[in-house]
Structure 1
Amino acid sequence: MNWITFFIDKAVPVVMAVLTLIIGSSLIKVFNRLLTRQVKKSKMDESLKPFLLSVFSVVMKILLIIVVIGILGIPTASFVAVLGAGSLAIGLAFQGALSNLAGGVLLLTMRPFKVGDYIEGSGYSGTVKAIQILYTELITPDNKMIYIPNGTLSNAGIVNYSVHDTRRVDFTFGVGYETDTQHVLNVLEGILNNHELVMSDPEPFIRLSAHGDSAVEYVARVWVKSEDYWTVHFDVLQEVKKSFDQEGISIPYPQMDIHMTN
């Protein structure tokens, strides 16, 4: 009878543990399918969806294992302690990777930028090609690929030049003191108003801004569509030099007079 009692005492927890494992695994699969459907319908970033599904699956399986161990009569407190110690050791070993992982989740959730945006961050600038879990890929204007760790990027200031449809182009021109101020303003106004990509609303802003050491400085500000920023920038610089030469408007540069005595 003692052997039978011993067998029953040991067999029942094992059977219960096996049944719990089978039923729990089935439920986890069902929950995974339901969660997958909901995640696919959401507007969440595509790079983040598989990561969240994997995290949910791993967490549920760990909880199931802890429950099964408890049914078998094994103290779960020591198991959880060992699991915690192991997690701490892994966390310390992969501290940088985990920081990048957390940064990737933050970037994909908060979405300060998206693929195709031109951004500046962590000392780099370029067009976003991809936002991965650990790294963000940028393509520079000269076609270089830059991989920025998400941990670094998420903790730094990010400038997104593609958020708004319009941008302001700022210019500063130095003109000789002998040139008539109204003449300069008229020439600049004509250049800016005649450029087809410069917006009329808000209208261009042109003013004398400073009396420099060797030149009078004029500031000009115009609004353009974001994609036309550099076209307008280079066109206006070229047209100003051409018009100033035609109108006899001097563009001074720093000079030094040296007097020699014998």
Structure 2
Amino acid sequence: MILNPNQITDYASTFIQLLIDYSPKLISAVVVLFVGLYAIRLINRLIRKIMVKRDLDPTLTKFLADILLWVLRVLLFVTFISNLGIETSSFVAILGAMGLAVGLSLQGSLSNFAGGMLIIMFKPFKVGHTIEAQGNIGTVSEIQIFVTKLINGNNQTIFIPNGSLSNGTIINYSLQGFRRADLTIAISYDTDIKKAKDIITAVLNSNPKILKTPVAEVSVKNLTDSAIQLAVRPWANNEDFGAVFSQTLESCKIAFDAAGIVIQPFAKGLSRTDS
């Protein structure tokens, strides 16, 4: 096909006329795009500062700020294509259908997402708390949107999905600030119970890490076929709990040896009944 000069002139004139007619929409859309991006950045920074000043949880602050950022970006994109003269109703319908399809394919992830939201909002635990959940005990190092990260006593990292975490039982060992150690010491029936209790009480009173309030308890726990089981229940701050547990057992054994009291050999002896 050969174009003559008149046709080329007509095409050029048509193109220039379309460009002139469409340029206001194009310029308007570009201005909206750049102004919108700048405004979104300012709004995001402002929201983050407000949440930080209100001492909101860092995880919640980051999550809400990110959600707001993407919502504003989607609204800006719809506004941008609308200013270009493109029909947005069909686009919104396609976007909704895509969202539904993605939601159905990611039901497990959405469950974890919802669980993360519940944990962040209701705060059954915080970063730094020691918790027991889903058969695991550890210190919370990070609360993410889909999983919560724990560090256990062996310095192993445990990732627990937030869906199962939020729907299960959570034991928070840090929330109250102090804990009770539940110990069991077994002695023979030939032992003077009062003397044994007095020795244990003296051991508890001599340990500065054991709290005076609540008062530590020493009582008869059970009478078995082979031993008298004494319950020893001292209280300690969370950071001293492990030391109090082991020191109490060791000190009671040393004090019993000095007093000539033998721990019943056919019973469990010194045992730990609470993790």
Under a length normalisation based on structure 2, what TM-score does the superposition of the two structures give? Answer: 0.75
Select which of 54, 59, 74 maps to 1:62.
74
CA contact (8 A) 2:186 2:267 kept: no
CA distance in structure 1 between the partners assigned to 2:211 and 2:39 by the alignment: 60
Distance 1:14-1:145 versus aligned 2 partners, 3 A rule: closer
- CA drift of 1:125 comes to 1.0
CA distance in structure 1 between the partners assigned to 2:241 and 2:62 by the alignment: 38
Structure 1 residue ranges without an equivalent (≥5): 256-262
Distance 1:231-1:22 versus aligned 2 partners, 3 A rule: closer
CA distance in structure 2 between the partners assigned to 1:50 and 1:202 by the alignment: 40
Distance 1:25-1:192 versus aligned 2 partners, 3 A rule: closer
CA contact (8 A) 1:137 1:148 kept: yes
Name 1:230's counterpart in structure 2. Answer: 242
Q: Which digits, 9 at most, give the CA deviation of each residue in 1:41-62, with x for residues without a partner? A: 3322333333322221221232
- CA drift of 1:93 comes to 2.7
Select which of 163, 176, 191 maps to 1:179.
191
Name 1:253's counterpart in structure 2. Answer: 266
1:153-164 paired onto structure 2 within 5 Å:
153-164=165-176
Two-structure CA RMSD over aligned residues (Å): 3.1
CA distance in structure 2 between the partners assigned to 1:200 and 1:31 by the alignment: 52
% identical equivalent positions: 38
User: What is the aligned residue count?
Assistant: 250
CA contact (8 A) 1:48 1:133 kept: no
- CA drift of 1:87 comes to 0.5
- CA drift of 1:73 comes to 6.6
CA contact (8 A) 1:44 1:109 kept: no
- CA drift of 1:86 comes to 0.2
Distance 1:27-1:116 versus aligned 2 partners, 3 A rule: closer
Distance 1:67-1:167 versus aligned 2 partners, 3 A rule: same
- CA drift of 1:71 comes to 6.2
Structure 2 residue ranges without an equivalent (≥5): 1-13, 269-275
Secondary structure of the corresponding residue to residue 182 of structure 2: strand
Select which of 46, 51, 64 maps to 1:39.
51
CA distance in structure 1 between the partners assigned to 2:207 and 2:62 by the alignment: 49
Q: Which digits, 9 at most, give the CA deviation of each residue in 1:162-189, with x for residues without a partner? A: 2223211122222222222222222222
